[in-house]
Amino acid sequence: MADLSNKDRVRRALDDVVAPALRGFIESVLGPGDEWTEIVSARFPGNVYEPYDPQAQFYLISLPWPGGRRNPFWDQLSKTATKAWTAELLDVRNKANHNRPWQPKEAERALDTMVLLLREINDPRAADVVEAERREIAKASQLAEVRKDTKRVAAMPTLDAGDVPAWRDVLEPHPDVAAGNFVSAEFAADLYQVARGQAGADYADPIEFFRRTYLTDGIQTLLKHVARRISGDTNAEPIVNLQTTFGGGKTHAMLAAWHLFAGRPLSEFPQAVQDLLGDLVSAETFTTPVRRVALVGNELSPGQTWVHSDTEIHTLWGELAWQLGGAEGYAIIADSDRNGTNPGHALRTLLETYGPAVILIDEWVAYARGLVGKDGLPGGDFGEQRSFAQALNAAVKATPGTVLLVSLPASEIRADDDTVSAHDIEIGGPRGREALDMLDHTITRDAYRWAPAKPIESFEIVKRRLFREPDAAALTTIEQVARRFTKFYTDHKGELPGESLDFSYEDRIRAAYPIHPALFDRLYGDWSTLERFQRTRGVLRLMSHVVHSLWATGDKAPLIMPGSMPLDFDAVRDEIAGYLPDEWQPIIAKDIDGELATSVYIDNDKPLFGARALTRRIARAIFMGSAATLTTEHKGIERKQVFLSVALPGDTIGNFGSALSQLSERATHLYADSDRYWFDRTPSLNRTVTERAESYQQSDVWAAVIERLRQEPKSTPEIPEVVIAPEGSLDIDEKDRVRLVIAHPRYTHEQKGKDTTGRLWAHEVTSKRGAGGRVNANTVVTLAADSERLKELEQSVRHYLAWTYIYDSRSTLNLTESQSNEAKAKIDQFNGVVRQRIRETWIWALHAQQGAGESQWAISQLKVDGATDSIARHAAEKLRRHDIVQVQHSATSIGIALSNHLRAKWNTGRVSVGELWEYHVRYPYLARLRDKAVLTDAVASVMTDMAWDAHGFALAGGYDEASGDFRDLLIPIEDQAPAINDQTLLVSPALARAQRERERGETPEPDVTPGPAGRDVPKPPKPNPVPSAIRNTTYSARVDLKPADDLGAQLKLIVDEVLVHLQHATPDSFEVRIEIDASKRGGFGEAEIRTIKENGSTLGFKGDGFTGT
Lowest mean pLDDT, pick from 105-109, 295-299, 566-570: 105-109
The pLDDT assigned to 419 comes to 36
Domain chopping of the chain, boundaries: 6-151, 167-173+467-684, 198-407+433-453, 694-791+801-881, 891-1000, 1076-1109
More confident residue, 1045 or 420: 1045
Q: What is the mean pLDDT of residues 1050-1075?
A: 77
pLDDT at 204 over 70: yes
The pLDDT assigned to 429 comes to 77
Residue-wise pLDDT tens digits, 524-535: 888 888 877 777
CA distance 574 to 561: 19
Residue-wise pLDDT tens digits, 419-435: 334 455 567 778 888 99
The pLDDT assigned to 345 comes to 93
More confident residue, 1079 or 381: 381
The pLDDT assigned to 56 comes to 79
Map 124-184 to HEC letters.
Answer: HHHHHHHHHHHHHHHHHHHHHHHHHHHHCCCCCCCCCCCCCCCHHHCCCECHHHHHCCCCH
What is the average pLDDT value for the chain, to the nearest integer?
86
The pLDDT assigned to 415 comes to 35
pLDDT at 1107 over 50: yes
pLDDT at 894 over 90: yes
The pLDDT assigned to 252 comes to 86
CA distance 853 to 903: 14
Q: What is the mean pLDDT of residues 856-876?
A: 94
The pLDDT assigned to 676 comes to 92
**Crossing angle (nearest 10°) for helices 503-512 and 455-466:** 30
pLDDT at 35 over 70: no
The pLDDT assigned to 540 comes to 87
Residue-wise pLDDT tens digits, 152-168: 445 678 777 778 999 99
Q: What is the mean pLDDT of residues 92-112?
A: 82
Beta bridge partners of 673: 676
CA distances 938 to 12, 142, 583, 730, 904, Å, are 100, 83, 75, 32, 21
pLDDT at 315 over 50: yes
CA distance 663 to 657: 10
Kindly indicate the confidence band of residue 150, based on its pLDDT and cuts at 50, 70 and 90.
very low
CA distance 9 to 614: 42
CA distance 746 to 765: 15
For the ranges 297-301, 432-436, 879-883, 1007-1011, the one whose mean pLDDT is highest: 879-883
- CB environment 776-813: b (16+ within 10 A), e (fewer): bbbbbbbbbbbbebbebbbbbbbbbbbbbbbbeebeee
CA distances 1008 to 1011, 1020, 1021, 1063, Å, are 9, 9, 11, 45
Kindly indicate the confidence band of residue 151, based on its pLDDT and cuts at 50, 70 and 90.
very low
pLDDT at 184 over 60: no
More confident residue, 877 or 1020: 877
The pLDDT assigned to 322 comes to 96
Kindly indicate the confidence band of residue 401, based on its pLDDT and cuts at 50, 70 and 90.
very high
pLDDT at 1013 over 70: no
Kindly indicate the confidence band of residue 44, based on its pLDDT and cuts at 50, 70 and 90.
low
Q: In what order do the strands lie in the sheet with 676-679?
A: 637-638, 676-679, 670-673
More confident residue, 1016 or 416: 1016
Kindly indicate the confidence band of residue 309, based on its pLDDT and cuts at 50, 70 and 90.
confident
Residue 1068, Cβ density class (10 Å: 0-12 exposed, 13-18 middle, ≥19 buried): exposed
CA distance 723 to 740: 6
The pLDDT assigned to 48 comes to 59
Residue-wise pLDDT tens digits, 605-649: 999 999 999 999 999 999 999 999 888 888 899 999 999 999 999
Lowest mean pLDDT, pick from 122-136, 351-365, 932-946, 1047-1061: 1047-1061
CA distance 727 to 747: 11
pLDDT at 1012 over 60: no
Cβ count near 498 (within 10 Å): 9
CA distances 153 to 568, 570, 660, Å, are 6, 9, 23
Tell me which architecture the domain covering 198-407+433-453 has in CATH: 3-Layer(aba) Sandwich (3.40)
CA distance 423 to 418: 15
pLDDT at 454 over 50: yes
Residue-wise pLDDT tens digits, 536-555: 778 888 999 999 999 999 99
Kindly indicate the confidence band of residue 930, based on its pLDDT and cuts at 50, 70 and 90.
very high
Kindly indicate the confidence band of residue 413, based on its pLDDT and cuts at 50, 70 and 90.
very low
Residue-wise pLDDT tens digits, 682-732: 888 887 888 899 999 999 999 999 999 999 999 999 999 999 999 999 999
Q: What is the mean pLDDT of residues 132-144?
A: 73
Map 958-1005 to HEC letters.
Answer: EECCCCCCEECCECCCCCCCCCCCCCCEEECHHHHHHHHHHHHCCCCC
CA distance 615 to 651: 12
The pLDDT assigned to 412 comes to 47
Kindly indicate the confidence band of residue 1003, based on its pLDDT and cuts at 50, 70 and 90.
very low
The pLDDT assigned to 1025 comes to 46
Q: Residue 100 has what DSSP assignment?
A: -
Q: What is the pTM of this model?
A: 0.60
Lowest mean pLDDT, pick from 78-92, 200-214, 259-273: 78-92
Nearest to 628 by CA among 553, 550, 526: 526
Residue-wise pLDDT tens digits, 951-998: 899 999 999 999 899 999 999 999 999 999 999 999 999 999 999 999
pLDDT at 1023 over 70: no
The pLDDT assigned to 1006 comes to 53
Residue-wise pLDDT tens digits, 761-773: 999 999 999 989 9
Which DSSP string do the residues of 764-795 spell out, in sequence order? HHHHEETTEE-S-GGGEEEEEEEHHHHHHHHH
Alpha-carbon torsion 1095, 1098, 1103, 1107, what sign?
positive
Kindly indicate the confidence band of residue 449, based on its pLDDT and cuts at 50, 70 and 90.
confident
